[in-house]
């Protein structure tokens, strides 16, 4: 166990439960699974199970006394307050968010409600709970807000990567709503003293990602013989972070991060989208060849670019390495290979999440 985590748990010996919001979603569920592999500290998992929340992600925890799932919304302040009180929560890890840029373009209202108003309700409940604590328990309490690099806007091809002091320049309703929640979290620290931590991560990939995001979408469409849609010229650059690396970074931030600080979490893996797709096609060619012998790359189709599409994101993750000693374990090559292997081995999970509403969404979005 990390020394910082041991000290925090000792100081908070009467408050030994973690509240995770959005813990049935892609990143949230991977964090919960990772946490319970590494710790015996109980988790209260709050998720309202929208399209992206999936209890199948947590099937391996069925019957685990350290995991309690609660279906509910962070907009329900009374529910959140009751959970904080009744389970003696010593830290909140806040994942719950609407997170897909395309969906935010077509329907921004849900993003405003969940990402801004929901975060506000959660902060209010957390502040009241924190104020009710005494002594060591109050000093040990933490609110970890999980955010995105998209709040920083877009970079040019030769611009320096995003640092924690980069100005906010969100360009989509999604990134604007996340930027607003980041500002609220900062304000609650500086105004009320709430011991918050913020992380801004690059593009995640890995197990349990809903098949509307690039990597699982390409794998799913390739195997189904469908077109592989690429926005514009496919040269949009992203820094790719394996979700399990992200989970380990969040554990480190929670254990050792300084309240009020922001930590950028990246994979040091900048790649254009088109290269990512060709890599996935090559891995699928090797692991699950098409019956006709053709390469999966023959299914690539370029489609009209989406409005306001940011050209490049890149994370400078030196602060978290310098101050907390964290670096990702996965390379781009190893992470992509094990991700393809996971999806091939879990086609039952893919079938369970790709229902009629998902197919309607994909058809409408890429037609």
Active site residues: 149-150, 174
In angstroms, rounded to a whole number, what is the distance separating the alpha carbons of residues 270 and 273? 10
Read off the DSSP letter of residue 310.
-
Under 8 Å CB-to-CB from 96, ≥6 apart: which residues? Answer: 21, 22, 25, 28, 46, 47, 48, 74, 114, 118, 122
In angstroms, rounded to a whole number, what is the distance separating the alpha carbons of residues 269 and 349? 27
Under 8 Å CB-to-CB from 271, ≥6 apart: which residues? Answer: 237, 238, 240, 279, 332
In angstroms, rounded to a whole number, what is the distance separating the alpha carbons of residues 269 and 121? 35
Q: Residue length, the chain?
A: 367
In angstroms, rounded to a whole number, what is the distance separating the alpha carbons of residues 100 and 27? 13
Q: Is 266 exposed, middle or buried (0-12, 13-18, 19+ CB in 10 A)?
A: buried
Is the Cβ–Cβ distance between 219 and 340 less than 8 Å? Answer: yes
- Residue 175's beta-bridge partner residues? none
């Amino acid at each position: 166990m990390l020394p910082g985590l041991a000290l925090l748990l000792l100081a908070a010996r009467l408050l030994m439960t973690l509240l995770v919001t959005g813990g049935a979603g892609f990143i949230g569920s991977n964090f919960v699974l990772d946490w319970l592999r590494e710790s015996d500290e109980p988790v209260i998992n709050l998720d309202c199970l929208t399209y992206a929340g999936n209890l199948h992600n947590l099937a391996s925890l069925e019957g685990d006394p350290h995991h309690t799932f609660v279906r509910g919304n962070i907009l329900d302040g009374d529910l959140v307050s009751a959970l904080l009180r009744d389970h003696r929560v010593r830290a909140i890890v806040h994942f719950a968010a609407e997170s897909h840029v395309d969906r935010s373009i077509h329907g921004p209202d849900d993003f405003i409600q969940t990402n801004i108003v929901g975060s506000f309700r959660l902060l209010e409940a957390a502040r009241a709970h924190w104020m009710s604590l005494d002594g060591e328990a109050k000093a040990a309490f933490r609110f970890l807000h999980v955010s995105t690099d998209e709040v920083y806007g877009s970079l040019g091809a030769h611009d320096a990567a995003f640092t924690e002091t980069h100005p906010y320049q969100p360009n989509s309703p999604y990134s604007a709503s996340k930027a607003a929640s980041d500002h609220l979290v900062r304000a609650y620290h500086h105004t009320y003293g709430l011991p918050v931590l913020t992380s801004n991560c690059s593009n995640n990939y890995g197990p349990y990602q809903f098949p509307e995001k690039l990597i699982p979408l390409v794998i799913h469409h390739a195997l189904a013989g469908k077109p592989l849609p690429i926005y514009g010229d496919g040269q949009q650059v992203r820094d790719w972070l394996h979700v399990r690396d992200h989970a380990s970074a969040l554990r480190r931030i929670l254990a050792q991060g300084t309240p009020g600080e922001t930590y950028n979490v990246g994979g040091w893996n900048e790649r254009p989208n088109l290269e990512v797709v060709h890599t996935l096609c090559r891995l699928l060619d090797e692991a699950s060849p098409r019956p006709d012998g053709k390469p999966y790359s023959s299914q690539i189709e370029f489609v009209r670019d989406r409005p306001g599409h940011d050209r490049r994101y890149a994370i400078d993750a030196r602060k978290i390495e310098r101050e907390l000693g964290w670096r990702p374990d996965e390379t781009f090559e190893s992470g992509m290979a094990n991700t393809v292997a996971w999806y091939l081995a879990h086609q039952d999970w893919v079938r369970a999440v790709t229902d009629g509403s998902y197919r309607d969404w994909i058809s409408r979005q890429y037609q």
